[in-house]
Amino acid sequence: MSLKPASREVAIVAAGVISPLGRGLAETHAALRAGRDCVSPITRFDVSKCRSSTAGQIPNEWLDAFATTRRRKRLHRASKMMIAAMDELVQQDRDFAPELMVIGTTSGGMTFGEAFYRSLLHSDNKRKRAAWLANYNPQKPVLDAMEAAGFSAPAQIIANACASGTNAIGHAFSLVASGKYERVLCGGYDAISELVFVGFDSLQAATQEKIRPFDKARTGLVLGEGAALIALEAFDEAVSRGANILAKVTGYGISTDNYHLTQPHPSGIGPRQAMERALASAGRKASDVDYINAHGTATQFNDATEGAAIEQLFSERRTPVSSTKSMMGHALGAAGAIEAVISLLALQRQFLPPNINFNECDPAWELDVVANESCDAEMRCVISNSFGFGGTNATIVLEK
């Protein structure tokens, strides 16, 4: 699959984020610089029968600050996350009027879905079932965020496992680059729910210890949550209206290896193809890349295949790589969007985010892991990876 460079330049003119790392760009940057471990014991539901007991969690009080009306207080935490991310983005560029929203997620209001289906087994809470079901839909947090911001636009939901957030940004980039749209608001969200947490625990993909991406002694992932939004606009249009251009999205690549329901192809061909296609789309070579924000879940299979793909593709230059999931966990459908914002911050502030809890690289490959501490670096081009169950792979390229 050969991809040509995009026909139009695409600017990032605003961004908003909330995650265990912090509320907004400034707090997120501070946490990244400090290499802060934001994984903590689960408090939202009972995990006494689970192997793992930790996750990256957003404190309720952070979200309650955006529940300013009686109606908002009843919203699912996913909606409050989206409202928080939207609030920051709108404050950065009040003139940005999206023609379309493209949002990645895997769960929607999953806890409401749990409550609805459990209520079917009992006779109580019948009056609440309609509200639970209405708030379960994945587009509901998107609609709530638009209402809070005071605008309305068509919304597309991408649910493609853990690649969803990056797919959403990549799809939005493609729409603007091709000339189909001038302005698209994109990103992703996911909130931790008991059903998903127990599911990963039962797969034995979640660790009982610290999350250690790319480490020889890695034992699995921890879950996270959050939301991130990025405003994309045709570069010339952004310049003409005097917008503050934060960076550019210049490439997008996808692949599907179809090897196994939950395991990637051991050769690393899926991640490698996604990265190669993203670079081709951007008109860049591997040697042009200054930093790789890896998917890096710290599971045996993901890190083995992604590590192999990075070593193969970036053999000419050992490009610095880190997984910021080590600090906040894996936010599933939101991960790619949050990590795109982290990559944006790395470009803007000229630093390499750390891969914490790292002791010794897996001897299967040689990687230049940004171990435990952030450091200053001159960067013009970075890539961000997201890979998911079913062999779905996505990569985007951001440039200064």
Which of 162, 186, 265, 381 is an active site residue?
162
Residue 127: how many CA atoms within 13 Å on its side-chain side? 0
Find tokens 């587009």 and name the residue. 139
Is the Cβ–Cβ distance between 367 and 318 less than 8 Å?
yes
Burial string for 36-53 (b: 16+ CB within 10 Å, else e) reads bbbbeebebeebeebebe
Classify 350 as helix, strand or coil.
Answer: coil
Which of 76, 265, 330, 381 is an active site residue?
330
Which of 38, 265, 295, 381 is an active site residue?
295
For residue 265, indicate whether it is catalytic.
no
Cα 369–chain centre separation: 20
Residue 210: how many CA atoms within 13 Å on its side-chain side? 17
CA–CA separation, 229 and 52 (whole Å): 30
Question: One-letter amino acid identity for 289?
Answer: V
CA–CA separation, 65 and 68 (whole Å): 7
Residue 119's CB is within 10 A of a number of other CB atoms, namely 16
Is the Cβ–Cβ distance between 331 and 21 less than 8 Å?
no
For residue 330, indicate whether it is catalytic.
yes
Is the Cβ–Cβ distance between 366 and 318 less than 8 Å?
yes
CA–CA separation, 157 and 139 (whole Å): 7
Angle at 160 (CA atoms; ends 133, 45), nearest 5 degrees:
50
Classify 86 as helix, strand or coil.
Answer: helix
Instruction: Select from 171, 118, 168 the least CA-distant residue to 142.
Output: 168
Give the tokens for residue 130. 């309609």
For residue 76, indicate whether it is catalytic.
no
- Kindly list the catalytic residues: 162, 295, 330
